[in-house]
Amino acid sequence: MIEAAVADGACDGISLGRPTLAEPYYAKKLEMGRPEQIHPCISCQNCMATSSSKGSPTCAVNPLAMKEGMYPVLRALRTKRVAVIGGGIGGMEAARVAALRGHQVDLYERDGVLGGRLIEAGVHSFKKSIRELVEWYRLQIQQMENISVHLNTDLDAAAIRALDAEAVILAVGSEPLMPRSIGGIDSPKAVSATDLLDGKRVAGQKLVIVGGGLVGAEMAYDYCLEGKQVILVEALQDLMANDPNGVPYWVHDLLIELLERNHCDIRTNTRLDEINSKGAVILNADGTRTEIEADDVIVAIGFCKRPSMAQELMGCGKEVYEVAADNAIGSVATQVGAAYEICRTL
Ligand SMILES: Cc1cc2nc3c(=O)[nH]c(=O)nc-3n(C[C@H](O)[C@H](O)[C@H](O)COP(=O)(O)OP(=O)(O)OC[C@H]3O[C@@H](n4cnc5c(N)ncnc54)[C@H](O)[C@@H]3O)c2cc1C
Ligand code: SF4
């Protein structure tokens, strides 16, 4: 787009803003004909939010931004054999930074591909930049000779103890919540948001989405764009009010406007009572119950951390670190930041 605009004479030059926070060598990489090496900006607005809250922007994908002089990745004085457990963005960033510092890295992932929850995060039509970020990480890891990737490899604490590694970085992420306490959670109509995003099932035409956090709201919007009938049920009085990572007000307002414009039926102050063979029974704010016929009742009520193996690894003779978010799922910013911080001094 940039090249076409200059070539067409629409303008003489382009000035880049946020993309250069994510990738300071953006122009240089274009000039070299290596656009695939550009570290993608995911338009997450983290820099905008931190500009106002901290007085200086920080970048979700590039922890070095604005701190280039005092926060560099330097070669380690003594290189080590490092095992990274989990190939989500936390594990991929840990492997990348450890390898840049000269360590010999083995990256273990239980699935057949690298990416973890970020693959689901990039499924929606409007989240192309997240898909680009996953591809960028896969390319960086593939290019580094001192990273060996072991896919389809699920390691428990005993297997980790037996590894020939001096340092272990746990980056095992989270699982979707599907509480047994919800009546009918085993019914054929019930499905988790992540199973749909993973393509394990295809959504029908009439949908009830339970949970109006960012995951549920984005899913509702994409299904509305596809012309599906969507009812979005949220127990609180507003959507995205209790998102663990906090949703900037401009993202919140825009998404609600887009949902309304695309005829999403938003029901706040409303709870799921049960899932049955017809669809969902919801408990309205006035205490009445309504049965809604639906092809699928999609559960998008949050995530829980996968159990930590750190305790079981105590006394194993290896350094053990954990890429952990304050909340269950974290975000690109928290996971990249935590992994970078561990590996910067490893
Ligand atoms: C639908 C959706 C949309 C999202 N949208 C955004 C967004 O727009 N912006 C944003 O910043 N964040 C977003 N997020 C959150 C973001 O995706 C997560 O914060 C991030 O992907 C978590 O990365 P992680 O590496 O910590 O964990 P995970 O991605 O969960 O990775 C952990 C990996 O470890 C592997 N693993 C687990 N146990 C083992 C084991 N014993 N041995 C080997 N491998 C193991 C798992 O298979 C997994 O691949 C979204 C999340 C979802 C689900
Ligand atoms: S914080 Fe997000 S929007 Fe800002 S430059 Fe980094 S990736 Fe882009």
pLDDT digits (tens, 9 = 90+) for 285-306: 999 999 999 999 999 999 999 9
Which ranges of the chain does DSSP label H, i.e. alpha helix? Answer: 2-7, 18-22, 26-31, 46-54, 89-100, 117-121, 128-143, 157-161, 193-197, 214-225, 249-261, 332-344
Are residues 8 and 30 both part of a single domain?
yes
Nearest ligand 1 atom to alpha carbon 335: 26
Residue 321 placed within a domain: yes
Predicted local distance difference test score (pLDDT) of residue 3: 84
Are residues 167 and 210 both part of a single domain?
no
Is residue 50 scored above 90 in pLDDT? no
CA of 89 to the centre of ligand 1 (A): 7
Are residues 202 and 294 both part of a single domain?
yes
Residue 104 placed within a domain: yes
CA of 33 to the centre of ligand 1 (A): 31
Are residues 180 and 296 both part of a single domain?
yes
Domain span including residue 12: 2-53
Contact between 90 and 173 (Cβ < 8 Å):
yes
Q: How far is CA 105 from CA 100, 133, 224, 289, 319, in A?
A: 10, 21, 43, 55, 14
Predicted local distance difference test score (pLDDT) of residue 133: 98
Q: In this structure, how many other beta carbons lie within 10 angstroms of the beta carbon of residue 39? A: 20
Are residues 159 and 204 both part of a single domain?
no
Are residues 184 and 159 both part of a single domain?
no
Ligand 2, atom 2: closest residue by C-alpha? 44
Q: Looking at the 3D structure of the chain, how many domains does it have?
A: 3
pLDDT digits (tens, 9 = 90+) for 5-40: 999 999 999 999 999 999 999 999 999 999 999 999
Ligand 2, atom 1: closest residue by C-alpha? 59
**Could you tell me the pLDDT band of residue 56, with boundaries at 50, 70 and 90?**
confident
CATH code: domain of residue 270: 3.50.50.60
Is residue 55 scored above 80 in pLDDT? no
Sign of CA dihedral 326, 304, 291, 229: positive
With a pLDDT cut of 90, the percent of the chain lying above it is 87
Distance CA(64)–CA(58), nearest Å, equals 8
Residue 212 placed within a domain: yes
Contact between 39 and 23 (Cβ < 8 Å):
yes
The pick from 16, 18, 131 for probing ligand 2's pocket by mutation, whose C-beta has the most ligand atoms within 8 angstroms, reads 18
Residue 251 placed within a domain: yes
Residue 331 placed within a domain: yes
pLDDT digits (tens, 9 = 90+) for 317-339: 999 999 988 888 999 999 999 99
Are residues 160 and 243 both part of a single domain?
no
CA of 263 to the centre of ligand 2 (A): 30
Are residues 190 and 168 both part of a single domain?
no
CATH code: domain of residue 125: 3.40.50.720
Are residues 98 and 145 both part of a single domain?
yes
Average pLDDT, stretch 67-78? Answer: 89
Residue 12 placed within a domain: yes
Are residues 299 and 311 both part of a single domain?
no
Residue 130 placed within a domain: yes
Are residues 201 and 146 both part of a single domain?
no
Which ligand is closest in space to the CA of residue 43?
2
Residue 64 placed within a domain: no
Which ligand is closest in space to the CA of residue 303?
1
**Could you tell me the pLDDT band of residue 156, with boundaries at 50, 70 and 90?**
very high
Predicted local distance difference test score (pLDDT) of residue 268: 96
Are residues 241 and 156 both part of a single domain?
no
Q: Who lines ligand 1 at CB under 6 A?
A: 44, 85-91, 108-111, 116-118, 120-121, 154-155, 171-174, 194, 197, 215, 306, 323, 329-333, 335
Is residue 168 scored above 90 in pLDDT? yes
**Could you tell me the pLDDT band of residue 53, with boundaries at 50, 70 and 90?**
confident
**Could you tell me the pLDDT band of residue 340, with boundaries at 50, 70 and 90?**
very high
